[in-house]
């Protein structure tokens, strides 16, 4: 569909505003800590705004509405609820421990517990996860859906603007724009839900006319699906954006309060997105929307149908804000990991503050360019996110949690664990992508080893890679203990 000139104007004003904020904030950037960690002065409101906006990207907005369209309210109980428990786990378990360490990133945390040998795999895992592939692809979808622009061109335009204001102002520009993006996102989703309840029906009214499965807590999801979602929900425990915001906060208390506040707002946003997905299913069943539409775009179809001109432009700006808030944040994390944790550490005399700023800005441009090149490789947005989360959790969950829990985890234990998880997840993914077959009914790629009776889905990475990481930790731990008594 092609939107009205008023909607286009609203989106244009939003984009210009983001660039202006980046330029104004850049005046306060004096050194690398200002650029990468906002001077470690983030307050609770700013922390909450940037956490919500960053982590609630298009992967969640499109993915949750798509899953709700297919599975109903089980999306909340199976997919979303475990995440909330992990958010609170970060707030009460991880935050106090991180503030006792003199570190600034996940790779530094790994190096603190296991020595410099753990830096490289930790950098690779962080980089893989933090490439803003999903949000760049989402920007392409938005541009094509609403403005008829080629998806690749739209992705380049949106990602380019996000890159510019991040290059200007670093994390502070990211946080300020995230806070504005958070407001726009909440407002537009709430407006879409209000119009849906007024014109289509409330959740209670829809429940009377739709199949019961859409309102059952577990829906029709299989045990394997439930376990997959539960495993992926562990991502916040090793989430680079969470750690970066924690390091940038004024105190442990500020970070904990911000995470608790964010959890309740995430919960409200999830219910709205899930409701809109179910509304989409109802509208398709009634013939109001075409049955051939792409399920991942259902929230766009519903909103485009319900919202009048002007408000639709605000909704588009909210979707663009959702994507950009993730592009800028993760591009900065990826670039900082490469430059600060990698180049700066391994260069004999280190990098000067001026060099850190320059190289990080160059890396931001490179990271976003790389994300644009590979953003349309996956059939579905959810597939890309599942892969990225699988790499991150497989590599870092075991060694980080062991570091927090054990007094002396040993150096080899962590290094073996990270490499075992990272290499196992990567190799299995490559095997599935190159040798597997896409199943349109299950909407996933499957590697079948018929002679062994094994049918490995792309989503099953964690079931093999995390145990491999755990075994690597045990082997390394045993070697460390033997070394003490040798």
Residue 35 domain flag: yes
Distance in angstroms (rounded) separating the CA atoms of residues 140 and 134: 10
Answer whether residue 470 is part of any domain: no
Cβ atoms of residues 45 and 178 within 8 Å: no
Give the pLDDT confidence of 97-148 residue by residue, as tens digits. 888 887 878 888 998 899 888 888 888 888 888 888 877 888 888 888 888 8
The CA distance from 322 to 112, in Å, is 34
pLDDT score recorded for residue 42: 60
204: three-class secondary structure by DSSP: helix
Residue 54 lies in a domain: yes
The per-residue pLDDT of the chain, averaged, comes to 82
| 77 lies in some domain | yes
The answer to whether position 46 is within a domain reads yes
Q: Render each residue's pLDDT in the chain as its tens digit; 486 residues.
A: 567 788 888 888 888 887 777 667 666 666 666 565 554 556 677 777 777 776 676 667 877 888 899 888 988 998 888 988 988 988 899 998 888 887 878 888 998 899 888 888 888 888 888 888 877 888 888 888 888 888 888 888 888 877 776 666 666 666 676 677 777 878 888 899 999 999 998 988 998 888 888 888 887 777 777 887 788 788 888 888 788 778 777 788 888 888 898 888 889 989 999 999 999 999 999 888 888 888 888 888 898 889 888 888 888 887 887 777 777 778 878 888 888 788 877 777 777 777 887 888 888 888 888 887 777 666 666 666 677 778 889 999 999 999 998 888 888 999 999 999 999 988 988 888 788 888 777 667 788 877 777 777 777 788 889 999 999 999 998 988 876 654
CATH number of the domain within which 303 lies: 1.20.1730.10
Contact yes or no for 414/118 (Cβ under 8 A): yes
Residue 141 lies in a domain: yes
Is 266 among the domain residues? yes
Examine residue 373 and state whether it is found in any structural domain, yes or no: yes
pTM comes to 0.79
Task: Please count the structural domains in the chain.
Answer: 1
Q: Which of helix, strand or coil describes residue 445?
A: strand
Which pLDDT value is given to residue 485?
52
Is the CB of residue 464 less than 8 Å from the CB of residue 428? yes
- pLDDT tens digits, 431-475: 887 888 887 776 677 888 777 777 777 777 888 899 999 999 999
Q: Give the range of the structural domain holding residue 306, as residue numbers without chain letter.
A: 5-379
SS (H, E, C) 275-303: HHHHHHHHHHHCCCCCCCCCHHHHHHHHH
């Amino acid at each position: 569909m092609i939107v009205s000139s008023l909607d286009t104007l609203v989106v244009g004003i939003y984009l210009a505003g983001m660039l202006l904020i980046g330029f104004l904030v850049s005046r306060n950037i004096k050194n690398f800590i200002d650029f990468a960690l906002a001077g470690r002065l983030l307050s609770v409101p700013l922390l909450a705004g940037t956490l919500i906006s960053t982590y609630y990207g298009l992967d969640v907005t499109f993915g949750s509405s798509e899953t709700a369209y297919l599975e109903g309210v089980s999306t909340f109980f199976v997919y979303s609820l475990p995440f909330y428990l992990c958010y609170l786990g970060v707030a009460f378990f991880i935050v106090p421990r991180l503030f006792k360490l003199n570190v600034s990133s996940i790779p530094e945390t790994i190096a603190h517990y296991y020595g410099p040998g753990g830096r490289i795999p930790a950098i690779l895992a962080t980089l893989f996860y933090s490439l803003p592939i999903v949000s760049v692809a989402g920007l392409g979808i938005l541009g094509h859906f609403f403005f008829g622009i080629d998806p690749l061109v739209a992705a380049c335009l949106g990602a380019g603007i996000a890159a510019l204001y991040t290059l200007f102002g670093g994390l502070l520009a990211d946080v300020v724009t995230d806070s504005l993006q958070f407001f726009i996102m909440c407002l537009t989703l709430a407006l879409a839900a209000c119009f849906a309840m007024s014109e289509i029906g409330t959740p209670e009214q829809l429940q009377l006319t739709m199949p019961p499965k859409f309102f059952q807590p577990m829906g029709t999801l299989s045990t394997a699906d439930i376990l997959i979602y539960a495993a992926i929900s562990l991502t916040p425990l090793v989430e680079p954006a969470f750690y970066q915001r924690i390091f940038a906060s004024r105190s442990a208390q500020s970070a904990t309060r911000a995470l608790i506040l964010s959890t309740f707002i995430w919960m409200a946003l999830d219910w709205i997105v899930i409701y809109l997905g179910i509304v989409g299913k109802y509208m398709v069943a009634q013939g109001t929307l075409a049955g051939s539409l792409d399920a991942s775009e259902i929230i766009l179809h519903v909103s485009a149908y319900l919202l009048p001109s002007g408000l639709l432009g605000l909704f588009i700006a909210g979707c663009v804000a959702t994507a950009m808030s993730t592009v800028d944040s993760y591009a900065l994390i990826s670039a900082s990991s490469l430059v600060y944790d990698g180049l700066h550490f391994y260069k004999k005399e280190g990098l000067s503050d001026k060099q850190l700023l320059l190289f990080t800005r160059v890396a931001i441009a490179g990271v976003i360019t790389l994300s644009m090149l590979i953003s349309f490789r996956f059939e579905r947005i959810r597939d890309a996110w599942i892969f990225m989360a699988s790499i991150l959790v497989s590599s870092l969950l075991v060694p980080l949690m062991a570091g927090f829990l054990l007094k002396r985890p040993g150096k080899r234990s962590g290094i073996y664990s990270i490499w075992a998880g990272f290499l196992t997840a990567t190799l299995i993914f490559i095997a599935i992508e190159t040798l597997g077959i896409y199943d349109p009914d299950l909407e996933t790629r499957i590697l079948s080893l018929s002679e062994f009776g094994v049918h490995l889905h792309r989503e099953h990475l964690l079931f093999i890679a995390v145990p491999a990481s755990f075994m690597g930790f045990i082997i390394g731990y045993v070697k460390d203990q033997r070394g003490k008594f040798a």
